[in-house]
Amino acid sequence: MSALLIAGSPSERSRSAALLDAVSQRLHARGALADRIHIRNLSPQALLLADFGH
């Protein structure tokens, strides 16, 4: 099983980031793969234009 964790907070350290860390650790403990995307690292223009190739 694999999961994609999406962090939407604009700050580096947030409560939701801490929650995603805990979820990721639990998934890894059960043998699942977890990848994370930080929305703040994505291009605003690509998000607004729905540029899936970015």
Which pLDDT tens digit goes with each residue over 16-40? 889 999 999 999 999 999 999 998 8
Q: pLDDT averaged over the chain?
A: 91
Give dist(CA 54, CA 42) in Å, integer: 9
Look at residue 52 in the predicted model and tell me its pLDDT. 87
- Domain coverage including residue 18: 2-48
Q: How many domains, the chain?
A: 1
Give dist(CA 54, CA 38) in Å, integer: 14
Residue 43 lies in a domain: yes
Residue 6 lies in a domain: yes
Give dist(CA 31, CA 11) in Å, integer: 29
Helix, strand, coil tally for the chain in percent (to 5): 45, 20, 35
Residue 54 lies in a domain: no
Where is mean pLDDT largest: 10-14, 16-20, 22-26, 41-45?
22-26
Residue 53 lies in a domain: no
Radius of gyration, CA atoms only, the chain: 13
